[in-house]
C-alpha cells in the first residue's frame, strides 16, 4: 500500500512542479534549470548522503550514480526541454509510454513477469495516446510562434528520449533495491549527485546559477517546485521502486496526464470532450495493467 500511495503522491507533486519549471524555460536553458534544481535538492537532502558507507555499498553506489546520470541528468533535461516545446499535457501524455517500456524491461532484465491482461492494457494505452497526439491544436513554442503539431512530429523526440532515460534510470534503481538495503533517502541523494556531476561536466564547469536573478515570488515558486518535483518526487519514486515491481510502479507514476487536466487551462490548452474521453481511456488502460 505504501508503494501505491507514494506513486500517486509522486505523480501529483511532479505534475504541479512541471508547470512552475515550464514558466522558467522562456528565459533559461533546460540544462541550466535541471542543474540548479538538482544542486539545491542535493543540499536539502545532504544529511542522508553523509551517513552512507561507501566501502559497503560501492557497487550499488556506482549503479545509482549511473542511474542519476541517465534518469535525472539526461532524462530531466529532455523532459524540461519538452515542457518548453510542446507543453505539459502532451509531454505527460507521451510519458505514459513509460509503463510499457518499464514492464518489458522488468520482465527481460530482472524477471518480473508481465500478465496477459497487462498487454491488453498496453494496447489501450498506446491507442489512447496516439489519438491524444492526433488532437489538432496549435502549440506555443519557445520563439512564441505557433506550429501545427500534425506537421511537426519531430518535436516529440524530447519527451521520447526523456521516457527512455527515465525507464533505464528506474530499472537501475530497482536493481539496487533488490540487491542492497540502502534507503530511498540515500538512493535519492546518490542519484542527484550523479546527475550533478554529469551536468557540470557537460556545462564545462560553468554553472549559470540564475536562481539569484529571480525576484522573490519566482524564487519561492522555484524552491517549491524543487521540493515537490525533485526532493519529494524522486524520494517517493524511489519508495515505489523499492516496494513495487518496475512495470506496476511506473504505471501508477504515469497517472500524471490525468492529473495534468486540472492544470491545462493555465497553459495554451483548451480541454475538449475528446481530450477528456481519451485521457480517461488511457488511464483505464493503465489501471488494467495493475489490476
Domain residue limits, the chain: 2-114+153-269
132 vs 249 pLDDT, higher one: 249
Higher pLDDT, 261 or 178: 178
Find which of 58-62, 94-98, 226-230 is predicted with most confidence, using mean pLDDT.
58-62
pTM above 0.75, yes or no: yes
Tell me, what's the pLDDT at 139? Answer: 40
3-state secondary structure the chain: CHHHHHHHHHHHHHHHHHHHHHHHCCCCCHHHHHHHHHHHHHHHCHHHHHCCCCCCCHHHHHHHHHHHHHHHHHHHHHHHHHHHHHCHHHHHHHHHHHHHHHHHHHHHHHCCCCCHHHHHHHHHHHHHHHHHHCCCCEEECCCCCEEEHHHCHHHHHHHHHHHHHHHHHHHHHHHHHHHCCCCHHHHHHHHHHHHHHHHHHHCCCCCCCHHHHCCHHHHHHHHHHHHHHHHHHHHHHHHHHHHCCHHHHHHHHCCHHHHHCCCHHHCCCCCCHHHHHHHHHHHHHHHHHHC
Q: What is the pLDDT of residue 232?
A: 93
Residue 162 has pLDDT above 90, yes or no: yes
Amino acid at each position: 500500500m505504501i508503494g501505491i500511495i507514494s506513486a500517486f503522491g509522486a505523480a501529483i507533486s511532479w505534475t504541479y512542479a512541471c508547470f512552475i519549471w515550464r514558466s522558467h524555460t522562456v528565459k533559461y536553458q533546460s540544462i541550466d534549470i535541471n542543474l540548479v534544481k538538482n544542486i539545491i535538492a542535493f543540499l536539502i537532502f545532504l544529511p542522508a548522503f553523509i551517513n552512507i558507507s561507501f566501502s559497503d555499498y560501492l557497487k550499488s553506489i556506482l549503479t545509482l550514480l549511473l542511474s542519476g546520470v541517465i534518469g535525472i541528468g539526461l532524462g530531466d533535461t529532455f523532459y524540461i526541454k519538452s515542457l518548453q516545446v510542446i507543453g505539459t499535457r502532451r509531454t505527460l501524455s507521451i510519458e505514459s509510454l513509460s509503463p510499457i517500456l518499464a514492464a518489458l524491461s522488468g520482465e527481460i532484465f530482472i524477471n518480473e513477469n508481465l500478465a496477459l491482461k497487462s498487454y491488453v492494457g498496453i494496447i489501450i494505452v498506446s491507442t489512447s495516446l496516439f489519438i491524444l497526439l492526433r488532437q489538432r491544436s496549435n502549440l506555443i513554442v519557445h520563439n512564441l510562434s505557433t506550429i501545427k503539431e500534425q506537421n511537426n512530429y519531430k518535436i516529440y523526440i524530447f519527451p521520447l528520449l526523456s521516457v527512455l532515460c527515465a525507464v533505464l534510470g528506474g530499472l537501475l534503481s530497482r536493481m539496487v533495491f533488490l540487491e542492497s538495503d540502502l534507503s530511498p533517502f540515500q538512493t535519492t541523494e546518490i542519484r542527484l549527485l550523479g546527475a550533478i556531476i554529469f551536468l557540470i561536466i557537460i556545462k564545462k564547469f560553468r554553472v549559470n546559477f540564475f536562481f539569484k536573478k529571480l525576484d522573490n515570488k519566482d524564487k519561492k515558486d522555484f524552491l517549491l517546485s524543487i521540493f515537490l518535483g525533485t526532493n519529494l518526487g524522486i524520494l517517493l519514486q524511489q519508495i515505489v521502486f523499492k516496494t513495487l515491481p518496475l512495470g506496476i510502479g511506473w504505471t501508477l507514476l504515469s497517472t500524471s496526464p490525468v492529473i495534468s487536466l486540472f492544470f491545462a487551462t493555465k497553459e495554451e490548452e483548451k480541454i475538449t470532450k475528446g481530450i477528456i474521453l481519451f485521457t480517461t481511456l488511457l488511464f483505464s488502460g493503465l489501471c488494467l495493467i495493475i489490476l
